[in-house]
Structure formats: C-alpha cells, structure tokens
Amino acid sequence: MKDLDFLEDLTACELCEHRCKVNRLNGKTGVCRVTLPAVASATLHPAPPESYTVFMAGCNYKCLNCQNWTISQYPDNGFDQRGYEDPEELARECVKELGTLPAQLMRADRIFFSGGEPTIHLPYITKVVEEARQMNRGTRINFDTNGFMTERSLERILGFTTSITYDLKAYHDEVHLALTGAPSKPVLRNAEQIGRHAKDKLWEYRITVIPEINENEVKPLVEFIANIDPTLPVCFLAFRPNFVLEEHPGAGRVLMNRCVEMGMRSGLTNVSWSGNVGLPGTVMGIESKVSEHYTSQGAQLAASYAFHARCQTHPRDCSTCTSNQACEVKTYVPRIAT
Ligand code: SF4
Ligand code: SF4
C-alpha cells in the first residue's frame, strides 16, 4: 500500500458529528466501526444525476430502513466489499468508465459518491477527486449524504463537489435518533448552510417517507426548507420494506401525494415524489419497554423496531451508547431478502 499521509484526518477522526476522535489508522474504531476507507462496489447508474456511482462501505448511521444495509453496516455484518483501493486506480477506473459508449448513452456525466456514507471516507474521496481531475480537469462530482458531517467537513465537501444529494430523515431529534441512532440538529444546520450559501450545488433534498414513523416529520421539514428558500428542490421517496423494517408497510400513493401537497402548501415550488408505492406489510406493536423514553408515536414505533433488532439503549443514541462497539443492530439480517 502506498503512502497514506493523505489519510491523516483518520488519526483522531472528527469527520462527522459523532466526533469519536479515535485513531482509525491504528485500528481503533468509532461509531461507524470503519478503519481504512473501503469501496463496496462501483457501477454506471441511471438514477439522476446519471453517473458512475462509487458505493463506499460503512456508515455513521444505523437506519432501521436502510436499503443498502449489506454495504452500510460494514464491517460488522460480514458481506464482501471490494475493500481499500489505491485512489489513483479508482480515479482511473471512474474516468475511463465515464468515457465509454454505455456511459454516453446513459448521459452519465459525473462520479457519484454514495454508500453507506461517503463523509466517513472524506480524505480518501478528496484524493480520488484530485487524481480524477488530474486525468480529466472537468470531472464532475456528486456527493450523496445523510448530512451528519461537521461544519469543517461540509466546507471541504463544498470545495470539490458539483452537486449534492442530501437526505433528511426527520426534523425532531427523538424521531431522528430512534430511526438512525444520530440526532437531527447537525443535519438541519448543514442543510440550511447548503440551502442558503451553496444552492447551486444542491441537486435535491431527499425525504424517505415511512408510514407512521416519520409521516408527522414531513410538515416541519418542508416548512424548515421553505423558510430557507421556497425554490429549493425536494423529492419525497416512497419507503419500501427493508432491513429492520422488513415487514413494515411501504408508503402508499395517497400518502406520497399528501406529502407533495404539504410541501406546496408550505410554499415550496419544486417538490415531487418517486418510488414504488403500496408494498404490503404489517405495523409492529409499540414495545412498552422502550415507549416511556420517547414522547411521539413515530419515535416510539421506530424504537420498538430497534429494540426488536436488539438495540438495548433507549433513548437511542449511538454516540454515547456503551454498546456501540458491539452493536447488534449492525449485524441484523432480515428474514426477507430485500
Ligand atoms: S463515526 Fe464519524 S467521527 Fe466517528 S470514527 Fe466514524 S467518521 Fe469518524
Ligand atoms: S445498541 Fe447502541 S450503538 Fe447500537 S443502535 Fe442501539 S444505541 Fe446505537
């Protein structure tokens, strides 16, 4: 392996707001449990913005509804990933793939870093981008994120990205914590920073709508965005059963249309929804052992699912959880293939 000086930030990692300060280069792990940056897979991808998408392994969240759970819960669930790759080689692959006929037919015009969460690999991605731009100066970059980076990391990301796709999971801390294990405040702060000062880079905010869990979060979220700037783009994604929420019902068409109406009523002018709707499922009952720790029904329900996946710490908060190095949610394998 070549010189890893460019990964110096990993020696006291504060790339995201968990701010674990562990030395990942010495094999220590924080909430994300990732040491060296690892690539999960890479492929041409037709979803807008069309791209050569690099999926990075590992995440700083433990979302109950994760659709990429075989990647995001790396390294604990043991699924194969490509692993650490020389940044120059990965850059070469990306630039080459974007120059192929299939890429041109697809109109793929950028490298799209996704995951997992790319923020936890920020110095590595920065290096890949540098290498790619040495090979092709005009290389465009999309950063697909859950928004839980520090302000410093956001500044760095804004320094090299062409576009950002930005997930918002919930407005209120307790729903966000119950669903992801992390609080919402830093995510809202960063979303506002982008909306106010880097609007040209925002591809869209994305809100996955999960029946009965974050339905009531939609109104405060769209009002929050409309207050920043009503022209900011928002796309609602219909939840489909996944990971710990493998038996929870998908979002229906009526709910998705209601979300768009809510967005428009709050003043948003660029709001839409996408995804498959109406997938069947059953809502789990609320677990009495966790309900006292949460006030809203959405948080209680999310926490009940987390409890079922053996999250024992409530209110859920992966930053302070004493079990975060042996978290059983990270090893959860759904019975139903999703
Ligand atoms: S969770 Fe965030 S701060 Fe902690 S080690 Fe991972 S990237 Fe670093
Ligand atoms: S057990 Fe701890 S680390 Fe795991 S999901 Fe629950 S709060 Fe987070």
Cα–chain-centroid distance for residue 255?
Answer: 23
> Which of 167, 194, 223 is a domain's end point?
167
CA distance linking residue 150 with residue 269, whole number of Å? 29
Closest CA to 299 of 318, 286, 282, 312: 286
Domains in the chain: how many in total? 2
In the chain, what percentage of residues exceed pLDDT 90? 97
Domain check: are 91 and 215 in the same one?
A: no
Measuring from each residue's beta carbon to the nearest atom of ligand 2, which residues come in under 6 Å?
A: 62, 181, 311-313, 316-318, 321, 323-324, 327, 329
Do 105 and 49 belong to one domain? yes
Judgement on whether residues 110 and 250 belong to the same structural domain of the protein: no
The verdict on residue 309 lying in a domain is yes
Tokens of 284: 């789990």
Q: Indicate which CATH number applies to the domain containing 93.
A: 3.20.20.70
Distance 62 CA to ligand 1 centre (A): 13
Q: What is the pLDDT of residues 150-200, one digit of tens each?
A: 999 999 999 999 999 999 999 999 999 999 999 999 999 999 999 999 999
Ligand 1, atom nearest to 18 Cα: 3
Question: What domain range is 73 assigned to?
Answer: 15-167
Could you say which of 142, 167, 192 is where a domain stops? 167
Q: Which of 112, 137, 167 is the last residue of a domain?
A: 167
- Nearest CA owner, ligand 1 atom 2: 16
Is 246 domain-assigned?
yes
Same-domain status, 160 and 257: no
Pocket residues for ligand 1 (CB within 6 Å)? 13-16, 18-20, 22, 30-32, 60, 120
pLDDT digits (tens, 9 = 90+) for 97-149: 999 999 999 999 999 999 999 999 999 999 999 999 999 999 999 999 999 99
- Asked whether residue 40 is domain-assigned, the answer is yes
| Residues 47 and 156 reside in one and the same domain | yes
Residue 307 and residue 290 in contact, taking contact as beta carbons nearer than 8 Å: yes
**For ligand 2, what atom is nearest to the CA of residue 321?**
2
**Residue 97 CB burial class (10 angstroms; 0-12, 13-18, ≥19):** middle
Spacing, Cα 146 to ligand 1 middle (Å): 13
262: in domain: yes
- Look at residue 161 and tell me if it is in a domain: yes
* Percentage of the chain modeled with pLDDT above 70: 99
The pLDDT of residue 224: 98
Query: Residue 262 C-alpha to ligand 2 middle, in angstroms?
Result: 33
pTM: predicted TM-score of the whole model, two decimal places: 0.97
